[in-house]
Chain A
Amino acid sequence: MSDVVIRTGQLSKRYRIGQREQPLQLREVLTRTLRSPLRLFRRAPQETFWALKDVNLEVRQGEVLGLIGRNGSGKTTLLKILSRITRPTSGWAEIHGHVGSLLEVGTGFHPDLTGRENTYLSGAILGMRKNEIDRKFDEIVAFAELEKFIDTPVKHYSSGMYVRLAFAVAAHLEPEILLVDEVLAVGDARFQKKCLGKMGDVARAGRTVVLVSHQLNQIRRLCHRAIWVDSGTLRQSGPAAEVVSAYEAAMTAGDRMSPARGNGAAQKARFVRWEIAEPQGSSPHTLQTLGPAKVRFLLEVHKPVCHAHHGIALYNAERQLMWGYGTDNLDLEAGLHEAIYEFPSLPLRPGMYSWLVTLWDESGAVDLWESVPDMLVATESYQHARDEWGGILNIPIALKIGACAEPNFAAVAPRDGSPA
């Protein structure tokens, strides 16, 4: 008997382009059918693309496998097929064992229900039996550190509390095979660490884990093996450190074939890479200082652009805009250009961020580039220990509390504003 628990053969998934924008009105379908009844039996020619093409994959019992690749490369589609959310167009997959999938934090949570009720509901949706939840309930609540609020409706929770509870439920899933998509990128750094620890325990307990993540260091740390998925096919597979390095190298070398952008030649200009130029640390995409930092973007200009506008935006993992800036009237000759942003400080709370850099000229957008890879902020936290009071800025404050050196101060400027 082999110990392979997941095996796929020529697994493929085809989507129709614009499937989401289909008419989807019964009325239209009916009138069309009435006008030409035969059309119903004829397949309208539609543009399709393969989100996944001929994927052959084997995962062994107890293995922790990382899937990496650009957005839209097919990682999530693969997870969705393996967790039976969607079905393949052709090919097959065989799975030995119960599968738990964790594609979102808080699956099935309902705002009107209490923490306790949501724990049961979400647990059941994720595949736990009732007696299993009964048994683990106290442990889950303790893990989430929500003992006092467990009977409060979750709509009154802060986002941090919500995420902690959702995670705690998910972390206590014990299927033989666990499929995880990017969900470890939320929550505060301390709680993330706790979850990573829990994931490590799961792996050590002999369970099989397939993990999708953009946080390459997480993949390096947790996974035995990694697979690089590119345009729906498996580009490279091997020891995690090796594959992650190859992927990183390719990404920073400007190996981008994102379908949203044209290929290099047709474009007047395009951003090709970014890095933290100063201070230089272990990785050019990890920010480890709250002091001055220089961030550099490289722009390849193929044809001169005039009166151009260049914009920059910084988003956090929840797609909240942290900061944006724009510059007008740029004239750029052909060649390689760089834009260096000097920040006295980037006071961001630890987590994942992404840059969006854009270039526009009179005819419209020349290039819009979502930075690859994301920026990991791994600085010391100067925030309230309670997540919901931490806020979005991580300001390196110094605080002194002691006897007041000017005893008359209170009399000079009384709090109620009335003259002394």
Chain B
Amino acid sequence: MGVETAAAAAPLYRIEPPRGWLEVRLREVWEYRELLYFFVWRDVKIRYKQTVIGVAWVVLQPLLTMVVFTLFFGHLAKLPSQGLPYPVFYFAALVPWTYFSTALLSATSIVVENQRVITKVYFPRLILPMSAVLSGLVDFSIGFLILVGVTLGYGLRPGFAALYLPLLLLLAVATALGVGLWLSALNALYRDVRYVMPFLMQFWMLASPVAYPGNLVPQRWRWLYGLNPMTGVIEGFRWALTGHGQPPSALLLASAGMVLVVLVGGLLFFQRMEGTVADLV
């Protein structure tokens, strides 16, 4: 192959100082999709290699939480469950919630964890939080299969509502990514962000209808409650799988709008940070 032809086809990169806020390079992420795939693949491989019980852990974690919730919130506290058997009621919430919290936590720490690579090679840094959010989907799929099994085991038959599930999952992914972009950028800039994370996750879980049905929240506060996108996701999951409970309302649209704002803001903030993070290490 002639060197000239190679040079003619070669891309031109122009390197300049960072300018302003509005500079999102999403096309570049597409060019690096293979590396995104490899990051997801690495995450999944390592996760299943490091834990002795591997896949079992992914199954056990939400399953045991479900048992605890069923015992304490269900049978002891006798919280209402929208007519659903407690295990189904809790598990349908815990599967999306576990996905969301794992994805958000790993997105938050992924830039800091990969600082060594970041200072040695260029790639769009955006694919790091993206890979964190995507690799969580593997665990989610396993959890989801069990969820379907549990639902069917209790004699519940999902109807056409189940077609909403991919949309609801997309909303959860977008929320984890949007918030993850903010937090991973902040975490790279300020080392104490990780100390806030356990508190944040606990607070967020209480602010989502994981352990209780969302209709316990008084009507006049529902709009505020609906701004938490995970409310729509969790209530939507219960409804889409079983037909019981709250069907998605206008609140879900509000959630989606909220997520869009967080996501776009996160992209801008993250790319703003991207320029300096290699210098901070």
Which residues on A are within 8 Å of B, measured CB to CB?
A: 3, 5, 15, 19-20, 22, 24-27, 29, 61-62, 80-99, 101, 103-104, 107-108, 110, 112-113, 117, 120-121, 124-127, 129-130, 176, 206
Minimum Cβ distance to chain B for residue A420 (Å): 52
Interface size (B, Cβ < 8 Å)?
40
Whether a CB of chain A sits under 8 angstroms from the CB of B268 is no
Pair A24/B190 contact, Cβ less than 8 Å: yes
A113-B42, A120-B38, A124-B38 given; A92·B280 CB < 8 A: no
Pair A26/B192 contact, Cβ less than 8 Å: yes
Whether a CB of chain A sits under 8 angstroms from the CB of B166 is no
B119 / chain A contacts, CB cutoff of 8 Å = 80, 85, 103
A92 / chain B contacts, CB cutoff of 8 Å = 14-16
Partner of B46, one of A84, A95, A113: A113
Pair B35/A125 contact, Cβ less than 8 Å: yes
Give the interface segment out of B2-10, B89-97, B140-148, B252-260.
B2-10
Pair A85/B15 contact, Cβ less than 8 Å: no
**Nearest 8 pairs of A and B residues by beta carbon:** A26-B190, A97-B10, A84-B122, A93-B15, A124-B38, A206-B3, A95-B13, A103-B120
A125-B38, A176-B10 given; A88·B17 CB < 8 A: yes
Partner of B45, one of A20, A89, A101, A113: A113
A19-B279, A96-B10, A101-B121 given; A89·B15 CB < 8 A: no
Partner of A88, one of B3, B15, B196: B15
Nearest-CB residue, chain B, relative to A124: B38
Assembly CA distance A93 to B12 (angstroms): 10
B222 / chain A contacts, CB cutoff of 8 Å = none
Partner of A24, one of B7, B17, B122, B191: B191
A83-B121, A87-B18, A103-B121 given; A129·B34 CB < 8 A: yes
Whether a CB of chain A sits under 8 angstroms from the CB of B193 is yes
A3 / chain B contacts, CB cutoff of 8 Å = 7
Assembly CA distance A98 to B119 (angstroms): 19
A85-B122, A112-B46 given; A98·B190 CB < 8 A: no
Assembly CA distance A352 to B211 (angstroms): 63
Among B7, B50, B189, B193, the most chain A Cβ lie within 10 Å of the Cβ of B7
Nearest-CB residue, chain B, relative to A29: B190
Partner of A130, one of B34, B46, B117: B34
Pair A94/B14 contact, Cβ less than 8 Å: yes
| Proximity string of chain B (90-125) to chain A, C-beta cutoff 8 Å, 1 when within and 0 when not | 000000000000000000000000001111111100
Nearest-CB residue, chain A, relative to B122: A84
Assembly CA distance A120 to B49 (angstroms): 17
Q: Can you list 30 pairs linking A and B with CB atoms under 8 Å apart?
A: A5-B7, A19-B279, A22-B280, A24-B191, A26-B196, A62-B3, A82-B15, A85-B118, A85-B120, A85-B122, A86-B275, A86-B278, A87-B16, A88-B17, A90-B17, A93-B15, A95-B14, A96-B10, A98-B11, A101-B120, A104-B120, A107-B116, A107-B121, A110-B42, A112-B50, A120-B38, A121-B38, A121-B41, A124-B35, A176-B10
Assembly CA distance A20 to B189 (angstroms): 11
Assembly CA distance A119 to B279 (angstroms): 28
Interface residues of B in 189-241 (CB under 8 A from A): 189-193, 196
A121 / chain B contacts, CB cutoff of 8 Å = 38, 41-42
Pair A26/B193 contact, Cβ less than 8 Å: yes
B17 / chain A contacts, CB cutoff of 8 Å = 87-91
Among B15, B116, B191, the most chain A Cβ lie within 10 Å of the Cβ of B15
Partner of A107, one of B13, B16, B35, B120: B120
Minimum Cβ distance to chain A for residue B251 (Å): 31
Nearest-CB residue, chain A, relative to B12: A96
Nearest-CB residue, chain B, relative to A103: B120
Assembly CA distance A277 to B157 (angstroms): 89
Assembly CA distance A132 to B175 (angstroms): 35
Whether a CB of chain A sits under 8 angstroms from the CB of B186 is yes
Interface residues of B in 30-58 (CB under 8 A from A): 34-35, 38, 41-42, 45-46, 49-50
Assembly CA distance A19 to B279 (angstroms): 8
Pair A85/B121 contact, Cβ less than 8 Å: yes
Nearest-CB residue, chain B, relative to A120: B38
